Structure 1
Amino acid sequence: MDGYQALTALIDSAWEELRNPDTGRRDLCLEVVSDILETGRLTQTDAERVVERLVTVALSDESYAMRESALHAVCTSSNCYELPFRVAEPLAVGVDRFEPLLLADVLSILGCTHDQAALPVVERFLRHPHPEVSGEASEAVKELRWRREPAQDKTA
C-alpha cells in the first residue's frame, strides 16, 4: 500500500467509525479526516468527496461537537483545496439551521468558494446580532467581492 492509499484507507476507516454511538470516538475520526485534509496530499476530486461527506455530517448530526468538527475540517480543507460552490451549496441552503458560532464557520466556508452564488446568502448575515457572525459575513463578502474584481484592480 502506497502513502496515498494509506491516507484514503484512513479516511474510509473514519467513515466506518462514524457509525459508532460514542460521540467522542466519532469526533476523533473527524479530527483524523481534518488532519489528512490539512496535508494537502489528496487529489482535488478526493478532497471534494471528503468535503461533501463532511457537509452532510455538519447538516445532519445531532451532536453539536460533531457538527463543529465537521465544519472545522471543511474550513481546514479550504487552506489546501479550492472548494467549488456545488460542494458547499447544501450549507448555503441549510444556513438557518446553525447556531451562531457554527454559522460563522459556514459563512467562512461559503466565502472560500469564491463563487458569486454564495454572495446573497452571506450578505444576509452582515447585520446579524452576534458579532462573530456579522464579522465573518463581512470577511466572506470581502473575499467574494475581491475575487469578482478584475485582476488589475486587486493590487490597488
Structure 2
Amino acid sequence: MIESAWEQLNSSDVDCRDLSLEVVCDVLETGRLTQIDAERTVERLVTVALSDEGYAVRESALNAVSTASTHYELPYRVVEPLAVGADGFEPLLLTYVLGILGSTHDQAALPLVERFLDHPHAEVNREASQAVTELRWYRESAQRETA
C-alpha cells in the first residue's frame, strides 16, 4: 500500500500527491512499520516537505512526520534537514517542524527551537515553548538517571 502511495507522489496533480501522503500517514499511524522502515519513510517525507511546491502537499508531509513522531522514536539525524530549512517554512508549517524537533528529545535541536521563542506568530511562539519544555525536561530526566 505504501509503495503505491509513493508512486502517486510523482503525479503532477497536487490533490493526488496530497492524497498519497494521507495514505502514508495512515500507514505510519498503525505503528506497524519497523523502526528502519519508519525512518526511511520519514526521510522521504522530509524531502517532500522541503521541496514540493504545493503548500497542501508540504503540510501533509509534515503532518505525516508528526504522526510518525508519536508512534516511533525518530532520531534527530532523520529530521535534521527540517531544522536546517526551518526559516523557509510558513508559520503554520513551522509549528509542525518545531513539534517534530521537540519530539526527538535530542539536545542538538534545542538551540534551533529556542530561536523561535520570540517569533511574531503566537502559534509558532507557543509551539516553540512547548518543544523547548519537552527538550529541557528530557535533558533533566536523563541527567537525573545518570546521577
Q: TM-score w.r.t. structure 1 length? A: 0.90
Residue-pair matches, total = 145
Cα distance between partner residues in 1 of 2:112 and 2:143:
27
The equivalent of 1:40 in structure 2 is 31
% identical equivalent positions: 72
CA-CA distance at 1:150 after TM superposition: 3.2
The equivalent of 1:21 in structure 2 is 12
3-state secondary structure, aligned to 2:48: helix
Q: Structure 2 residue aligned with 1:145, among 136, 139, 142?
A: 136
CA-CA distance at 1:152 after TM superposition: 8.6
Q: Equivalences for 1:3-152 in 2 at 5 Å?
A: 10-150=1-141
Q: TM-score w.r.t. structure 2 length? A: 0.95
CA-CA distance at 1:151 after TM superposition: 5.6
Cα distance between partner residues in 1 of 2:79 and 2:143:
29
Cα distance between partner residues in 1 of 2:106 and 2:12:
37
Unmatched runs of 5 consecutive residues or more in structure 2: none
Structure 1 or 2, whichever has the larger Rg, is 1
3-state secondary structure, aligned to 1:135: helix
CA-CA distance at 1:19 after TM superposition: 1.0
Report the aligned-residue RMSD: 1.3
Structure 1 segments of 4+ aligned residues over 6 angstroms from their partners: none
Unmatched runs of 5 consecutive residues or more in structure 1: 1-9
Cα distance between partner residues in 1 of 2:9 and 2:141:
44
Moved more, 40-49 or 11-20: 11-20
